[in-house]
Amino acid sequence: MSDGWLDKMTALYYTYKVYFLLRRVAAADKRGENMYITLEADYAVRIVDCLAQHQMRMDAKSLSAATGVTLRFALKILRKLVAEGIVRSYKGTQGGYELARPAGEIALGEVIEIVEGPIVISRCVGDDTFQCSRVEKCACRFNKTYTEIAQLVREHLYAVNFEQ
């Protein structure tokens, strides 16, 4: 068999691979093989949303109870949110947590990226430390598609804020 045939078969294989990846992202898979944000990102969104809805200072224990996040995990997430300027913390008997900015200025994507890091579909696109073993082959021709998908997801997540 000629190399041209092998190249076509390899290209077809990767085309189908991308197709099925996109199907998994777009539609709910009944077998539980969906792509999800992490539980930590989900909890961070819950915490910020809770603070936005209550529009007042809340202690960590109350936040934990209102969001269903364990106190220990809530404190871990709150440290990240405080460090990135989403939440402000106060010490003392009247201490607690509140949003550091108006809810309308905090994007859903911002909160998710604080916890998860940049939104990427493939490690080939977003991870500078990853060394692809297929650089010489055909797999990297999909990087543009992966980049475009990640950008679309990112744009949608940044279009939603906590005031809406």
pTM of the model: 0.72
**pLDDT, tens digit, 9 for 90 and up, residues 26-71:** 554 444 556 677 899 999 999 999 999 999 999 999 999 999 999 9
With tokens 């998908």, the residue in question is: 149
Q: Are strands 87-90 and 96-99 parallel, antiparallel or unpaired?
A: antiparallel
Give the max Cα distance, the chain: 77
